[in-house]
Amino acid sequence: MNMKEIKTEPLKLDFNERADRFPEWLDISKLSPQNYWRYPDQSQLKLAMSKQLGLAPEQVLVTNGGDEAIELMFKLATLEQRELVIPMPAFSQYLSGIKVWNSKAKLIPAKPDLSIDLEASLNALSENSILVLTSPNNPTGETLELDVLRDACKRAKAIGAEVFLDQAYIEFTGQAEESLCLLEDFDNLVLLRTLSKAYGLAGIRCGYLLGNEAFIQRFAERKMPFNVPQPTLDIALQAFSQAAQRDVADFTQRIAENRDLLVQFLRQRGLNVLDSQANFILIVDNSQRLQLITAACQQYNIQIKSDLVGLELQKRGLQEQSAIRIAIPYEFEPLRQALILALKPELICFDMDGVLIDTSKSYDAAIKQTVEFFTKTKTEQEEIDRLRSRGGFNNDWVLTYELIKLQSEGPLPDYVSVVEQFQQFYLGNGEQAGLNQLEEALLSADLCTQLFVQNSKQFKTAVVTGRPRGEAEIGLKLLGIRNTYLVSDCDVIESKPAPEGINQCKTYYGATYCWMLGDTPDDIQAAKAAGALAIGIAESESANNLYQAGADLVVASVNELERLL
């Protein structure tokens, strides 16, 4: 997909909704606005629900989204002075609900693999407890088997505790129908379901609780009158038609297939993906790799969830770990292409100076000596860095001339004279060795061999530098680089921050998915303009300048690239 072809509307994979397939069975013409002057009547919907689910209408409570059902649970627990037992990680609304209601609650820490500790949760129950379970769990996707749930309900009932089982994603598991049998055996169990996920109706706000009639009545007594609007009830009624049920079955099967494709792709690239039976996956891995995934998704106008609550990775000693959650789209290709850009680039472009080669004793020294030659004043490294951070000074000759203009009190030398003097310092003359002799490789020998010498078929490489071609070739020789495409400043009409050099490389290799590594705002802006992921090279104190220029990730050294591939 060409970047210009990407749709302007974002693909929302951050809230686990139906992202890209409209429920075709939904017929707006079947709404009944002539009745909207009346208060809402849930009876017809409850009858359709109970018939579909094999329950009595009194066992069904329609709520204003699953959110109201959760709020009713908190209200019930508070008014009946019950303690909540919630295994972690948990859906963020349960955590915020504890604060809002000032609830008495026990949060049971997760196991090291982020699965819930059900045994510890059951051991924490008392006769006054409500055990809150979510299966599939959000944000991990963990799904509890039916026998496990049955045992949990049995053990809770034995001590007089109750179970609130959140099944917002149950349609994606194959357990939706068979788990209803739990209600036949346990009067201490209530199930939460919603039309927001598999049905694709998050916008109408319709959820429902299922359970023993007496248990459901306790929730019903605490809801607001006429809690669900009539238009919502009319649309929800269509969700229990045969056409809608066929659509949900087709949709959930396609999502499961795409989920398997996504997990396989990510695990092949070495990422840690938690097992999931929901319409989303959780990736817990190196924070830098996840930052690249997030950036690539943004570039393809795809929204994913990176602000996750309750995982507490840092408390687990996983300081370099992070987590992202991605909902599974019906059309997989746009997400696949974003992930290829993030994890499997065809081409990696490198700036040379400050990335592959340390030029602090050569180019930077030549800048200082040239400025001093013309102005009789010394230049500090901070002044050079400050100009580079502004952008537009990728060419050291231009940067030198700008410093001379800033520091000179007399007539300015002409630009050609400045360049000639600079080159004498850098390349040397018959009497004095050039400063270029002091250059040292920043790229490790092993990584250089892996990237450039072995000519790996996994991806192609290129060097895009502001050096003149002759000096660029000297740099390649210093590094021992072979089998790479070189674009020097002599090979482009427009220097960086223009994307011409990177685009030349993409055209030469026929590549679409590209990374660019550079140490200046000009490198970063060129990368963004070329549709490449922009990886900055800078120490921590300078990283902010590159992020402000648009960098997708900033690392301290080019040698960290090995961790990203």
Domains of the chain: 3-17+245-343 (3.90.1150.10), 28-240 (3.40.640.10), 347-355+440-564 (3.40.50.1000), 362-438 (no CATH)
Model pLDDT for residues 301-347, shown as the tens digit of each residue: 999 999 887 777 655 555 578 999 999 999 999 999 999 999 999 99
Quote the Cα angle for 164-106-144, to 5°: 45
Q: What DSSP element (H or E) covers 545?
A: helix 540-548
| Confidence class for position 408, pLDDT limits 50, 70, 90 | confident
Q: Render 470-515 in DSSP notation, one character per residue.
A: HHHHHHHHHHT--S-EEE-GGG-SS-TTSSHHHHHHHHHHT-SSEE
Please check the confidence at residue 113 and state whether its pLDDT lies above 80: yes
Query: What is the rounded average pLDDT of the residues 216-223?
Result: 98
- For 318-348, the three-class secondary structure string (H helix, E strand, C coil) is CCCEEEEEEECCCCCHHHHHHHHHHHCCCEE
Show the tokens assigned to 252. 């959930």
Q: Cβ contacts of residue 315 below 8 Å, gap of 6+?
A: none
Please check the confidence at residue 5 and state whether its pLDDT lies above 50: no
Task: Provide Rg for the chain, Cα atoms.
Answer: 31
pLDDT at residue 315 in the model: 58
Query: What is the rounded average pLDDT of the residues 433-444?
Result: 95
The letter for the amino acid at 102 is N
Q: What is the largest CA-CA distance in the chain?
A: 100
Highest averaged pLDDT of the listed ranges 114-128, 316-330, 374-388:
114-128
Show the tokens assigned to 191. 């199930």
Please check the confidence at residue 429 and state whether its pLDDT lies above 90: no
| Confidence class for position 454, pLDDT limits 50, 70, 90 | low
Give the other-Cβ count within 10 Å of 561's Cβ.
Answer: 20
Query: What is the rounded average pLDDT of the residues 362-382?
Result: 93
Please check the confidence at residue 6 and state whether its pLDDT lies above 50: no
pLDDT at residue 317 in the model: 58
Tell me, rounded to whole angstroms, the distance of Cα 367 from its chain centroid: 42
Strand, helix or coil for residue 219: helix
**β-sheet bridge partners, residue 284:** 323
Query: What is the rounded average pLDDT of the residues 386-403?
Result: 88
Question: Helix, strand, coil shares of the chain as percentages rounded to 5?
Answer: 45, 15, 40
Model pLDDT for residues 193-213, shown as the tens digit of each residue: 999 999 999 999 999 999 999
> Of 488, 489, 485, nearest to 505 (Cα)?
485
pLDDT at residue 313 in the model: 67
pLDDT at residue 4 in the model: 41
Kindly compute the dihedral angle of the four CA atoms of residues 29, 31, 35, 39, in this order, to the nearest 10 degrees: -160
